[in-house]
Amino acid sequence: MILDAAVYLSAGVAALATLLMIFQKNPVKAAMLMLTALLATAGMYLAFSAQLLAVLQVIIYGGAIMTLFIVALSVTPQAWKDKPVPGRAVRVLGLAAAAVLLTELLQVSTVLRAASAAPGFSETGTLAIAMNLFGRFAFQFELLSLVILASIVGAVALASRRTAP
């Protein structure tokens, strides 16, 4: 009973924060609302007793990614004044992209609803995740690190430009 209430409460907070974020014009405030949504999602994981997922959500999304986001946003001049209203073409494009995303989400949600009814969904132990990451999907996992390598090379290239003649 209490857990159900916690799930619905954090899901509601997440949905509300996301909506507010979309209509928020100030980038830093929008980022803070996104952080709220991410933390509420972590709360939802916790109510589903997926502790590891909840903690990782907070460490990676809340602690690392959003921090970098917010710091980067706050040094852009945009963060200090209201955004100019985008042109009509941009608005139509944005709406179209949102519609595509929504249909995709609806499609996926029917599949997920069927999956969650299956037993054993709530058991996400640290060991089970580790077994999958470093056993079954080790190759894919290591392949992903190439993305990080690319970003490191990019960062070095950007940083060294200042000292180059």
Q: Note the residues at the interface with other proteins (CB under 8 A).
A: 28-29, 32, 35, 51-52, 55-56, 58-59, 62-64, 67-68, 70-71, 74-75, 79, 126
Closer Cβ to other proteins, 18 or 124, answer by number: 124
Gap between the Cα atoms of 18 and 157, Å rounded: 35
In angstroms, give the least distance from the CB of 122 to other proteins: 15
In angstroms, give the least distance from the CB of 165 to other proteins: 21
- Asked whether the beta carbons of 38 and 62 are under 8 A apart, the reply is yes
Handedness of CA 55, 56, 62, 64 (dihedral sign): positive
In angstroms, give the least distance from the CB of 51 to other proteins: 5
Closer Cβ to other proteins, 6 or 32, answer by number: 32
Closer Cβ to other proteins, 102 or 152, answer by number: 152
Closer Cβ to other proteins, 98 or 153, answer by number: 153
In angstroms, give the least distance from the CB of 108 to other proteins: 27
In angstroms, give the least distance from the CB of 77 to other proteins: 13
Closer Cβ to other proteins, 86 or 125, answer by number: 125
- Asked whether the beta carbons of 42 and 62 are under 8 A apart, the reply is yes
Gap between the Cα atoms of 43 and 63, Å rounded: 15
94 phi and psi, to 5 degrees? -60, -45
